Copies of this chain bind each other. A is one copy, B any other.
Amino acid sequence: MQCQSIEELQLLVNKAKKYTDQGKVADYIPALKMANPDSLSIALYYPDGNCYSAGDVSENLTLQSISKVISLALALMDWGEDYVFDHVGQEPTGDPFNSIAKLEISKPSKPLNPMINAGALAVTHMIKGESVEERFQRLLTLIQKLANNSSIGYSREIARSEFETADLNRSLCYFLKQHGIINEEVEQLIDLYTRQCSIEMNCLDLSRIGCVLAFDGKDPLTEVQLIPANIARICKTFMVTCGMYNASGEFAIKVGIPAKSGVSGGILGTVPGRCGIGVYGPALDEKGNSVAGIQLLKMMSEKYMLSMF
């Protein structure tokens, strides 16, 4: 079952939009506060190049935690599965994304998975390159290819804002450094990580990335294998088990689409073998997920039978 028309999609967006007033725009990063809480846009991208979208698709969002999926793919391409999972675990956790407590209680002290902040910092640390600049460019280039859009860049303003308020991430980094999980300068890693989080695109770009993942890392139009198939599958698995913060379990039941959200209000969705999805709705629920975005995906999952379960 496939979306047939933009009108159809627009109807769903209209329905979901009324949930925006149940959420709040993220305010812990000053630059994110300026987002319009009423926004809601979506794009569906099919392997034949067909794309349906609704809402103001031109609005840009920063990737924030969505970037964790791609940095994981790159680290896996750089180092292989064994090395990466020696430094970060594979298990979901019931703790919040920014928790440090479990790091201490677990032995060995490696982060539970790459989707919580501690794990994502350990992953970004593994991106190869001579300098922050080179490492960032390697990640950005991969993202540009996945979205087939070489104009994608990052917001210097948001990166700076996040860099200045990243004390909890610095705390996590020094903890990881103490335990030998990372061994670079913390400020340098925070610089790289906040740039990564500030990469900017719209929901159309997101949907193209989702489509490549849906087809096991191969661009369905060009047939170029941008990410090895087994790595694309690993990414999708983490999206199911821990992509939506500590609402991942409920999302898997209610929606059933591998997805990763960010506090900017973006959601990257990927329906294996079918299509990619990009959502932008900056009003967040208390778990940090786009409140209207989740409702929209739920409606779509039911209408188009997108659940993989």
Q: Give bound CA distance, A193 to B249, whole Å.
A: 24
Contact in complex: A90, B233 (CB < 8 Å): no
Instruction: Count how many chain A residues have C-beta atoms less than 8 Å from C-beta atoms of the other chain.
Output: 49
Contact in complex: B167, A91 (CB < 8 Å): no
Which stretch, A18-26, A41-49, A238-246, A277-285, touches the partner chain B? A238-246
| A307 proximal to B (CB < 8 A) | yes
Contact in complex: A249, B101 (CB < 8 Å): no
Copies of this protein chain in the complex: 4
Contact in complex: B94, A104 (CB < 8 Å): no
Q: Chain B residues near A95 (CB, 8 Å)? A: 94
Within the complex, which residue of B105, B113, B272 is in contact with A308, where a contact is CB–CB below 8 Å?
B272
| A100 proximal to B (CB < 8 A) | yes
Which stretch, A57-65, A202-210, A219-227, A252-260, touches the partner chain B? A252-260
Task: Give chain B nearest CB distance to A189 CB in angstroms.
Answer: 13
Contact in complex: A249, B113 (CB < 8 Å): yes
Q: Give bound CA distance, A272 to B249, whole Å.
A: 18
Query: Which A residues are closer than 8 A to B by beta carbons?
Result: 85, 89-95, 99-102, 104-106, 112-113, 167-168, 170-175, 177-178, 186, 233-234, 236-238, 240-242, 246-250, 252-253, 256, 258, 272, 307-309
